[in-house]
Amino acid sequence: LAVKDPTAVERANLLNMAKLSIKGLIESALSFGRTLDSDYPPLQQFFVVMEHCLKHGLKVRKSFLSYNKTIWGPLELVEKLYPEAEEIAASVRDLPGLKTPLGRARAWLRLALMQKKMADYLRCLIIQRDLLSEFYEYHALMMEEEGAVIVGLLVGLNVIDANLCVKGEDLDSQVGVIDFSMYLKSDDDIGGKERNVQIAAILDQKNYVEELNRQLNSTVSSLHARVDSLEKSNTKLIEELAIAKNNIIKLQEENHQLRSENTLILMKTQHHLEATKVDVEAELQTYKHSRQGLDEMYNEARRQLREESQLRQDMENELVVQVSMKHEIELAMKLLEKDIHEKQDTLIGLRQQLDEVKAINMEMYQKLQVSEDAMKEKNEIIGRLEDKTNQINAAMKQLEQRLQQAEKAQMEAEDEDEKLKQEYVNKSESLQKEFSQKEKQLLQLETDLKIEKEWRQTLEDDLQKEKETVSHLRIETQEIINLKKEFLKLQEKNKQLKRICQDQEAALQELASKLSESKLKIEDIKEANKALQGQVWLKDKEATHCKLCEKEFSLSKRKHHCRNCGEIFCNACSDNELPLPSSPKPVRVCDSCHAILIQRCSSNVP
């Protein structure tokens, strides 16, 4: 036999239990009156079944204290996917009696049922399988087709009206146990199948009407939005049409005016052409002779202009390169200044540490001197105590000798009187008391000596530690000296870079002066070209006589125009000629401003 997958069996069992609980809840609610309270047993069993369905295949999450396995994580994710669920999540978080995530999840399920949107919320959650994979295993009920079936079954709960009090209910400590006795068949259930079929048909019609109403509301809202946008676009088109009509009227008026002006200009040009044809034929011969020299001058000036423009382009490229080099040098200078400031800050900090170390060294040196003085005093005290112990030992020896002598005397004086014997006994008792006192003093001196030795050992340890700190401080001072040397080297490099920067700035200034001179030359050439191109000639009707000899112009007395002052001379008066290196023939010069004269061939052409 083929072995069934235990997870598939669990999913099938949970799906069947969900079907039974939802069916039993709808049937009992319709018979009970549709409005349900939180104490209604089928409703409680429905929430228990939903909790088991949501817990199936849930991943175990690690926390600080223990492993956590709760359904609040995926339910909390709904508010990000479905904006209308934010109100439920906020109200669940604000409930004062809930302390555990499981209690919040139970409150969330109850609020979603009261809103009649549990199916919508869970449908949004099931669609996002990639997000659910963070909370559920791949074989969980919510990740398989059974989850979609349960969501479809939850749509039928929209016919139920639930009035649940979540605030005062203890949802944290409830035990979710499924009561199977509610779903066992009885004789009454078998007899009421026809009634259940009618109720199911009515519920299907109600769900269809609600879904149709929801779709119609969405289409109406979209049509309203389209109508508003069409009205706005219509008003804009009407305004644009009025503006376009006004523009057409203005353009028609301008067209009539331009046509009338065009006819007048044509009449004038025809008369003018007839008058100028005679002059053109006469001046054409003179123009052919003078044009050759002018073309050569123009070519020479054009070549010089190209050379100057090429030189200017080269100078601009060099200027761009120098500017980029200057920016790079400025950046390098800023970085060097930043490094120097940071090293200065470190030097200041190291100097402060050195001062603190010096102060600590002075304090430790003073303490060391004080401890050495104390050691000397204690050594003197120990020497005195040793002398005292020697004296006590000598006294003890003397006392022993005396005791021996006394014993001998006692043996010899046994025959003496009892009075002398009694005196001797009294003397021996006093000596024993003194001996006991001396022993006590010796024990006290030995304890003092041990204490002094321990204190001396601690002082030697402190002295060793101070020596180690002094060695560390010497190493740090050596490092500070090395840093000072590096700082001096960096200062020298900074000075060298400043010198290089100053040299480059001087070179840039020289280049700028040369560029300014070349720009001035180019501007002079441009002004000369403009003077050649922008002259306005007098009409032939106005220029009828020479300015110098005041004789009338004719074929023998041709007209010559000064391009600088605008005067017109005849060829007899403008006899001053000047040789130019750019032209093979000498040119005529104005008598008043000494500028080059240009011979006129027609009324409007130089």
Q: According to the model, what pLDDT value does residue 170 have?
A: 76
Q: Is residue 448 within 8 Å of residue 385, measured between CB atoms? A: yes
Domain 10-183 and domain 559-601, same fold? Reply is: no
Q: Which residues of 312-328 are buried (b: 16+ CB within 10 A; e: fewer)?
A: eeebeeeeeebeeeeee
> Which among 327, 331, 330, 338 is positioned nearest to 490, based on CA atoms?
338
**Interaxial angle between packed helices 101-115 and 41-55, expressed in degrees from 0 to 180 and rounded to the nearest 10:** 120
Collect all residues with Cβ–Cβ distance below 8 Å to 54 and sequence separation of at least 6: 71, 74, 75, 105, 142
Strand arrangement of the beta sheet that strand 568-570 belongs to: 568-570, 559-562, 597-599
Per-residue pLDDT tens for 199-235?
A: 777 777 777 887 888 888 888 888 988 898 898 988 9
Collect all residues with Cβ–Cβ distance below 8 Å to 353 and sequence separation of at least 6: 476
Q: According to the model, what pLDDT value does residue 581 have?
A: 45
Query: And the tokens for 264?
Result: 């007048």
Per-residue pLDDT tens for 177-193?
A: 777 777 665 555 555 56
Q: Please work out, in degrees rounded to the nearest 5, the angle formed at the alpha carbon of residue 492 by the alpha carbons of 490 and 498.
A: 100
Give the count of beta carbons closer than 10 Å to the beta carbon of residue 208: 10
Q: Is residue 26 within 8 Å of residue 157, measured between CB atoms? A: yes
Query: And the tokens for 453?
Result: 């030795």
**In the CATH hierarchy, which fold is given to the domain comprising 559-601?**
Herpes Virus-1 (3.30.40)
Q: Please work out, in degrees rounded to the nearest 5, the angle formed at the alpha carbon of residue 9 by the alpha carbons of 6 and 10.
A: 90
Collect all residues with Cβ–Cβ distance below 8 Å to 531 and sequence separation of at least 6: 563, 564
CB-based contacts of 553-561 (< 8 A; 24+ apart in sequence): 555/282, 558/283, 558/286, 558/599, 558/600, 559/599, 559/600, 560/588, 560/597, 560/598, 560/599, 560/600, 561/535, 561/537, 561/597, 561/598, 561/599, 561/600, 561/606
Domain boundaries, given as residue ranges, for the chain: 10-183, 559-601
Q: According to the model, what pLDDT value does residue 421 have?
A: 66
Collect all residues with Cβ–Cβ distance below 8 Å to 68 and sequence separation of at least 6: 60, 61, 62, 101
Query: And the tokens for 511?
Result: 């280049």
**What's the rounded Cα separation, in Å, for the pair 448 and 546?**
141
Collect all residues with Cβ–Cβ distance below 8 Å to 304 and sequence separation of at least 6: 525
Look-up: residue for tokens 């001096």?
Answer: 488
**What's the rounded Cα separation, in Å, for the pair 43 and 51?**
12
How far CA 43 is from CA of 47, 302, 380, 548, in Å, comes to 6, 101, 97, 124
Query: And the tokens for 504?
Result: 């480059």
CATH architecture of 10-183: Up-down Bundle (1.20)
Q: Supply φ then ψ for residue 552, to 5 degrees.
A: -75, 140
| CB-count exposure of residue 276 (10 Å: 0-12, 13-18, 19+) | middle
Grouping H, G, I as helix, E, B as strand and the rest as coil, residue 36 is: strand
pTM of the predicted model over 0.75: no
Q: According to the model, what pLDDT value does residue 555 have?
A: 64
Q: According to the model, what pLDDT value does residue 592 have?
A: 57
Q: According to the model, what pLDDT value does residue 520 have?
A: 85
Chain centre distance of CA 430: 97
pLDDT averaged over consecutive 10-residue blocks of the chain (606 residues)? 72 89 85 74 87 86 57 87 87 85 89 89 89 88 89 87 79 76 60 65 77 86 89 90 91 89 87 79 75 79 86 87 88 86 85 86 86 84 83 82 79 72 76 83 84 84 85 86 87 87 85 83 78 58 74 71 66 57 54 55 37
Collect all residues with Cβ–Cβ distance below 8 Å to 286 and sequence separation of at least 6: 558, 599, 601
| CB-count exposure of residue 363 (10 Å: 0-12, 13-18, 19+) | exposed
Q: Which residues of 138-148 are buried (b: 16+ CB within 10 A; e: fewer)?
A: eebbbbbebbe
**What's the rounded Cα separation, in Å, for the pair 166 and 556?**
121
